[in-house]
Structure 1
Amino acid sequence: MSSCGLWNESLAIAEDYIGLCLTADPSEAPLPPSEAAATMRRMGRHAESLYEATFQNLVQTFVRGCWPDLCSGLRRVMQEMVSDGFLNWGRVVSVFAFTGVLARRLLEDNEEEETTTTTTKLRLDLSDWPQICRKLAETIADFLIEEKKEWMLENNGWEGFCKWCSSSSSRQSSQDAYLKTALLAAAGVGLAGLTFLLAR
């Protein structure tokens, strides 16, 4: 697959996952655009359910440290997560899950009179909300293709992701181990000093 095709597929999966996270009733969400998008829905929500508190803490720290430049902050978080030179599908799932939680938290906070994540109101213009979500999705796609294209191709792109996420019971413990490792790495950055990292 060409770089352009892989970027478009990555964007579609990211937009679909963020859209799912913003849907009040996931059962009413539109059908996923591809098998990979459906798989990301399953794996991302699974990661959220396993590590909800970790994601909420990371999002709170993230918003405090990078508001209002969300996309640049998200890019730095992804770069930090692979600063050891290692990437796996568990870390990719973690990025999608984190971004979905972030988008949902921003929308919820904006609908409240006072935000729960910062001491000042976020003041999002909801007329721009689709564009905000699009930019977050583009940030993920840009990172995967501009900085990790070689890894994506070596791992057979999103087809490889679907194979890794095989639902057989023999793979489930391995998937959870990858997710746990990825999220612990993210938590180590986020909870110990993500605010400092994003403010640099």
Structure 2
Amino acid sequence: MPLMTAALLLPAVRRESSLIAGRIMSCGLWKETLAVAEDYLSVCRIVPTPGSPAATPPPPPSESAAAMRHLALDMEAQHRARFHALAHSFLSQCGLDPCASLRRVMEELVGDGQMNWGRVVSLFTFTGVLVRKLQGEDTDQGTGVRGTEWLGGKESCRALAETIANYLGKEKSDWMLKNQGWEGFCKFFHSARVVNQDSSMKTALFAAAGVGIAGLTFLLVR
């Protein structure tokens, strides 16, 4: 191949290589997001509410999954009444396709473009509460949501986990990758814990998630 021709083709080859590398990174991000989501939602099926006795969940599959368990359950413990009221309202309005409704909530929740790890955690926390509601965790107490028997168990966990993965791992992949993906989430988890040991990350995390929780309230009661 003439030297001039090779020089002309080199930029195109580099662009193609960059595109391939980007697709590989996005695919890996989606798979890891799905794994974190499936792990957290499966834990929510086992653990009724934060602090309640239940079967011991299996070890988390990754550091990011362990961090999400800690932060999302901690967030629910701090805002349990609000999250459960929001989940009840959501399920009374979502019809027969909670995944599509959850997708719309996620899109509107970060519609202002202000994505942060606190909002990501609030989405996981909210979806975990939905899983418990869907499997009838509160039914025996008279607070269950009528008409949710049709979706429960592992199938609902997988569908909701895929909804989260499709949104964060595809629609928000640019933001996730810019913030170092789930490795960045683990760094956020550790740095917040070191900086704010006494409050167990609550100040930093809940300040970031506060807008997200308020957004959920606005979306579901309007």
Judge same fold: TM > 0.5, yes or no: yes
Verify: 1:121 aligned to 2:150, yes or no.
no
Cα distance 1:182–1:164, how it changes in 2: closer, same or farther (>3 A)? closer
1: CA distance, partners of 2:200 / 2:111: 23
Q: Judge conservation of contact 1:57–1:191 (CA < 8 Å) in 2.
A: no
Verify: 1:135 aligned to 2:159, yes or no.
yes
User: What are the within-5 Å matches in structure 2 for residues 41-190 of structure 1?
Assistant: 41-108=69-136, 112=139, 116-118=143-145, 120-124=146-150, 129-166=153-190, 168-171=193-196, 175-190=201-216
Cα displacement (A) at 1:106: 1.4
Does the residue aligned with 2:60 lie in a helix, a strand or coil?
coil
| CA offset digits 1:132-178 (Å, max 9, x no partner) | 11010000000012211111111100000000001644145694345
Which moved further from structure 2: 60-69 or 132-141? 60-69
By relative contact order (CA 8 Å, sep 6+), the higher-ranking structure is: 1
Cα displacement (A) at 1:183: 4.4
Does the residue aligned with 2:195 lie in a helix, a strand or coil?
helix
Contiguous gaps of at least 5 residues in structure 2:
1-23, 48-52
2: CA distance, partners of 1:125 / 1:73: 14
Please, which of 29, 36, 46 is the counterpart of residue 23 of structure 1?
Answer: 46
Cα distance 1:35–1:87, how it changes in 2: closer, same or farther (>3 A)? same
% identical aligned pairs:
43
2: CA distance, partners of 1:153 / 1:125: 33
Cα displacement (A) at 1:54: 1.4
2: CA distance, partners of 1:8 / 1:43: 21
Larger radius of gyration: 2
1: CA distance, partners of 2:200 / 2:77: 17
Cα distance 1:125–1:144, how it changes in 2: closer, same or farther (>3 A)? closer
Q: Judge conservation of contact 2:135–2:148 (CA < 8 Å) in 1.
A: no
**Amino acid corresponding to residue 160 of structure 1 in structure 2:** G
Counting matched residue pairs gives 192
2: CA distance, partners of 1:168 / 1:133: 29
**Amino acid corresponding to residue 97 of structure 1 in structure 2:** T
Aligned to 2:33: 10
**Amino acid corresponding to residue 143 of structure 1 in structure 2:** Y
Cα displacement (A) at 1:76: 0.9
Cα distance 1:75–1:182, how it changes in 2: closer, same or farther (>3 A)? farther
Q: Judge conservation of contact 1:21–1:101 (CA < 8 Å) in 2.
A: yes
Q: What TM-score, normalized by structure 1, do the two folds share?
A: 0.84
1: CA distance, partners of 2:34 / 2:168: 10
Does the residue aligned with 2:46 lie in a helix, a strand or coil?
coil
Q: What TM-score, normalized by structure 2, do the two folds share?
A: 0.77
Cα displacement (A) at 1:125: 5.5
- Let me know the Cα RMSD of the aligned residues: 2.5
